[in-house]
């Protein structure tokens, strides 16, 4: 049974077995959560991402997929990178957003991670409306078949926290 919890603030300050990164397919860093994770995690995280690009993920990580690296200096054992979909008003991409959560938890299971912290994937530069992203994220986690004991959504600001709280209950 997975317990859903909420926290407000900077995900790079969280302590968890794994911290999920809202990465982009290049795996080589970006803004938002991605930038913060690489800044605080330090060069080891980027080094491992580069190795992934040089080996199994030559074309990058596809949207909806997930892959783990070290967490470097973060207070976690692993970073699980996943690529959220860019929001589209004309095409329903919610299966890809759900897939990010499902795949991140699948990777967490292979690692033996029991606590996993997620940001609000796709709700930043990728433009997904917060209420809908919260619905998709919470439903995907609740439906996942995983040994992860705690999924913690870490929301950057008060509004995002309220929106997720309304879903998690």
Q: Among 139, 134, 100, which residue's Cα sits nearest to residue 2?
A: 139
Give all strands of the β-sheet with 115-118 in edge-to-edge order. 3-8, 150-155, 115-118, 18-23, 78-83, 66-70
Distance CA 108, CA 18 (A): 7
Distance CA 96, CA 149 (A): 23
Report the residue from 32, 77, 162, 168 that binds ligand ADP according to the rule CB under 6 A: 32
**Would you name the residues annotated as active-site residues?**
34
- Of residues 121-160, which lie at the interface with ligand ADP (CB under 6 A)? 121-126, 154, 156, 160
- Of residues 69-88, which lie at the interface with ligand ADP (CB under 6 A)? 84
- Of the candidate spans 27-35, 59-67, 71-79, 135-143, the one that interacts with ligand ADP by CB under 6 A turns out to be 27-35
Distance CA 137, CA 119 (A): 10
Report the residue from 72, 119, 146, 152 that binds ligand ADP according to the rule CB under 6 A: 119
- Of the candidate spans 50-58, 66-74, 102-110, 116-124, the one that interacts with ligand ADP by CB under 6 A turns out to be 116-124
**Binding site residues, ligand ADP, CB under 6 A:** 10-12, 22, 31-34, 36, 84, 119-126, 154, 156, 160
């Amino acid at each position: 049974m997975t317990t859903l919890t909420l926290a407000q603030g900077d995900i790079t300050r969280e302590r968890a077995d794994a911290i999920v990164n809202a990465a982009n397919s290049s795996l080589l860093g970006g803004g938002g959560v991605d930038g913060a994770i690489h800044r605080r995690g330090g060069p080891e995280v980027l080094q491992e991402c580069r190795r992934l690009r040089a080996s199994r993920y030559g074309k990058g990580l596809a949207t909806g997929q997930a892959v783990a690296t070290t967490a470097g200096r973060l207070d976690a054992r692993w970073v699980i990178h996943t690529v959220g979909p860019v929001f589209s008003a004309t095409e329903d991409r919610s299966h890809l957003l759900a897939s990010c959560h499902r795949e991140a938890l699948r990777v967490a299971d292979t690692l033996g991670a029991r606590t996993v912290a997620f940001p609000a994937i796709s709700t930043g530069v990728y433009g997904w409306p917060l209420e809908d992203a919260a619905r998709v994220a919470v439903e995907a986690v609740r439906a996942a078949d995983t040994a992860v004991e705690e999924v913690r959504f870490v929301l950057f600001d008060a509004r995002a926290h309220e929106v997720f709280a309304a879903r998690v209950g």
